[in-house]
Amino acid sequence: MPSHDTTHLVVCFLPGTNTTTREDNLTIVNNINYCLKENRALDKLAITAIKWNYQGNCIIITCLDLTAADILPHIEGITNTIIPGATGIIRENKKIVQN
């Protein structure tokens, strides 16, 4: 997976969150899409998949015709959908530019 991608959102859970005890990926995708359907501003908002990286972050992959920026305003509180009771930070998977 590339280090950055405009179709990816990264969910970073707070330290101490057990990210190994969770639903299967398909169930999480369906739950996120259900939340998007309930809260959507656009009809086409949806994600296609999620992946987990070795740090325990959840990578949310949007449809190819969307960017992470399109979905980000509509997924507040989604961390609880991924892992019940969990909190974390959701950000776009942007390239880090160092000066």
What's the first-to-final CA gap in the chain, in angstroms?
Answer: 25
Question: For residue 1, what pLDDT is reported?
Answer: 46
- Domain ranges, residue 17: 8-92
Question: For residue 35, what pLDDT is reported?
Answer: 85
How many domains does the chain fold into? 1
> Looking at the domain assignment, is residue 98 inside a domain?
no
User: What pTM value is reported for the model?
Assistant: 0.84
pLDDT at 99 over 80: no
pLDDT at 20 over 50: yes
Count Cβ atoms below 10 Å from residue 2 Cβ, excluding itself: 7
> Looking at the domain assignment, is residue 1 inside a domain?
no
Average pLDDT over residues 19-41: 86
> Looking at the domain assignment, is residue 82 inside a domain?
yes
> Looking at the domain assignment, is residue 3 inside a domain?
no
